[in-house]
Amino acid sequence: MTAITTSRVESIRPRWQAIVMVALIFWLSGSLILDLVIMPSLYVSGMMTSPEFAAAGNLMFWGFNRVELICAGLASTGLMVLSNLANDLGKGRHTAIILSLVLLTIALIDTYALTPQMSALGMQLNLFESATEVPSGMNLLHQGYFVLEALKLAVGGTLLSWCYQNQV
Segment 60-68 mean pLDDT: 95
| List of residues 6+ apart from 96 with CB closer than 8 A | 79, 82, 83, 159, 162, 168
Give the single-character DSSP code of 3.
P
pLDDT of 112 strictly over 90: yes
Segment 104-111 mean pLDDT: 97
Task: Report the C-alpha gap between 94 and 89 in whole angstroms.
Answer: 8
Torsion, Cα 64 67 69 74, to 10 degrees, reads -150
Q: What is the pLDDT of residue 132?
A: 57
Task: List the domain boundaries for the chain.
Answer: 6-164
Q: What is the mean pLDDT of the chain?
A: 86
Start-to-end CA distance of the chain, whole Å, equals: 27
Which region among 18-22, 134-138, 153-157 has the lowest average model confidence (pLDDT)? 134-138
pLDDT of 70 strictly over 50: yes
